[in-house]
Structure 1
Amino acid sequence: MIFFRTAFAKLENQSQKSRSLIQKDKGISIRRQCELLGINRSSLYYAPSEPDPLPNALDEAIMARIDYWHTALPYLGSRKLVIKLNEDGYPVKRKIVRRLMQKMGIYAIYPKPNLSARNFKEAIVPYLLRNYNVAFPNQVWSIDITYIPMPHGHMYLTAIIDWYSRRIVGHYLSDSLDTESVIYAVREAVKECGIPAIINSDQGSQFTSDTYKQLLKDLGIRQSMDGKSRWADNIMIERWFRSLKTEQIYPNEYDSPRELRKLINDYVDTYNSLRPHEALDYKVPDEIFYSCFAA
């Protein structure tokens, strides 16, 4: 690929030099000069246009509002999101909203088919956690990805939560919705916290990919996936994403990925080490997680 790019760049540079030799009113017609230099006459009149930033900026603004309403009212589907967006001053149609929701990797949280893009049917694995008793840390983790708006563009956050202690054991901020980000988050979480028995996810393409499945197999981790139409199977990490956005992301300003990353890191540190949970008998996640490994 690098070879072809280099060759193309050389050809384009040579073509530009040839076009610079074309001169008017020199006794030879423009057509004849082009024939002698071996270039297309139409290329003399072509000026590449810069991409229009307005459509992309509008998409980003609409996605930011979709994320806001999805966080506040996660059960809203594309039809009702269209109504809220129209009320916000964005005269969009359902087709646009559905396209942007797919780009963001989100879907309405209520009993309905999972709309996350996924791999072939044979890549889906069973949900292992129905009526499953979680009794200690690193028994079950949940992993998911969420969209986060930026002043110019957007980012994606992959996060992993331990079911027993409610501790965030790993997270990674990326500018793309790809499998590599998920792989990195899992590797770093395992490096810091150990190997879980099970990791649960939705049926998104990142989690049905051969690379992700092979990673879990190599680490000796059993893979579990939400059942079709069972939005609540991974609700623990979904709730944490909502808390992160409503308590930390939306109330604060950030202009760069570096500033956003610091906001997320600060929230994770506070959540893990200082925030008591009713479900943990008002203890903090770090205390529950690490006390089980104490001698």
Structure 2
Amino acid sequence: MIESSNPLISVRQQCRLLSLHRSGLYYQPLAETEENMTIMRLLDEQYYKTPFFGERKLKIWLRGLGYFVNRKRLRRLMQLMGWETLYKRPGTSDPNTSHKVYPYLLKGLAITRANQVWATDITYVPMRKGFMYLCAVIDLHTRYVVNWSVSNTMTADWCKSVVEEAITTSGKPEIFNTDQGSQFTSEIFTGMLKNHEIQISMDGKGRAIDNIFIERLWKSVKYENIYLNVYEDGVSLYQGLQQYFEFYNTARFHQSLGYKTPADLYKTIAA
């Protein structure tokens, strides 16, 4: 159990000894009403079945399940979750028109080696009494999850720290791909990539397939872990995801990788 009053061992050291990221210690789920949480959970699962549903169809669909919500309420819940209809990914961030948008560099590019291209994204994570957000960095060639973190806020500083940890532990990619969310177009985030001399690539607006590999990761982590568990707080969420990503990287066989694990390829090729 973490003790903040222990004068001999700092909180940072206690987290390291327990293999616990500090984000899992400090962050608590954002609260919503029980009915709103149920609706958001239903919407989150429905996205993977009908990402082309807009507000009107979702309103009718929810009504059929016994939930009568007006468009204002539905729109607010969709925004909290980051639902973007049809051609856009279920993005958790809105673009900022004052930020520079970089070109998409992956079109026609043969991705043939580890640490050639990394990508990152944010997704909504439902919990028993609230929700949090998950950010992950994935190597596109091997599908290896290089780093991840949870938070109850979606800031550029948080995204930057997740990527910087990945670079510290695994080197750096030649190209880094994101969507056009405000966290990723901010100078805080792009400046960090430029300081590491990493080429910046951003999905074309309205192009769901540009970041398809990390979208597949979100579907896997939700159906294989998040939806099967009811996490109470940041600590239990972090520990559950830690176990899952260890499984995903080292024990989950991928058909597209010739039934090898991401770690099999990443650690061999990146060595």
* C-alpha contact (below 8 Å) 2:59/2:69 kept by paired residues: yes
Unaligned runs of 5+ in 1: 1-53
1:79-94 alignment runs, 5 A limit: 79-94=56-71
User: Residue 85 of structure 1 aligns to a residue in which SS?
Assistant: helix
Classify 1:156/1:77 alpha carbon distance in 2 versus 1 (closer, same or farther; 3 Å): same
2:77 to 93, 100, 116: 100
* C-alpha contact (below 8 Å) 1:107/1:116 kept by paired residues: no
1:247-258 alignment runs, 5 A limit: 247-258=224-235
Residue 55 (structure 1) shift: 7.2
* C-alpha contact (below 8 Å) 2:122/2:133 kept by paired residues: yes
Is 2:167 the partner of 1:190?
yes
Is 2:214 the partner of 1:237?
yes
Residue type matched to 2:36 in 1?
Answer: D
1:160 to 105, 128, 137: 137
In structure 2, distance between residues paired with 1:186 and 1:106: 24
* C-alpha contact (below 8 Å) 1:179/1:209 kept by paired residues: yes
Give the number of aligned pairs. Answer: 240
**TM-score (norm: length of structure 1):** 0.76
Residue 65 (structure 1) shift: 2.3
In structure 2, distance between residues paired with 1:285 and 1:165: 5
Is 2:45 the partner of 1:68?
yes
Classify 1:74/1:262 alpha carbon distance in 2 versus 1 (closer, same or farther; 3 Å): farther
Residue type matched to 1:95 in 2?
Answer: K
Counterpart in 1 of 2:111? 134
Larger Rg: 1
2:194 to 187, 207, 217: 217
In structure 2, distance between residues paired with 1:109 and 1:239: 16
User: Residue 224 of structure 1 aligns to a residue in which SS?
Assistant: strand
Percentage of matched positions with identical amino acids: 40
1:1-295 alignment runs, 5 A limit: 56-110=33-87, 116-120=93-97, 123-294=100-271
User: Residue 102 of structure 2 aligns to a residue in which SS?
Assistant: coil
Classify 1:55/1:224 alpha carbon distance in 2 versus 1 (closer, same or farther; 3 Å): closer
Runs of 4+ off more than 6 Å: none
RMSD after superposition: 2.1
Residue 69 (structure 1) shift: 1.5
User: Residue 216 of structure 1 aligns to a residue in which SS?
Assistant: helix
In structure 2, distance between residues paired with 1:121 and 1:133: 32
**TM-score (norm: length of structure 2):** 0.82
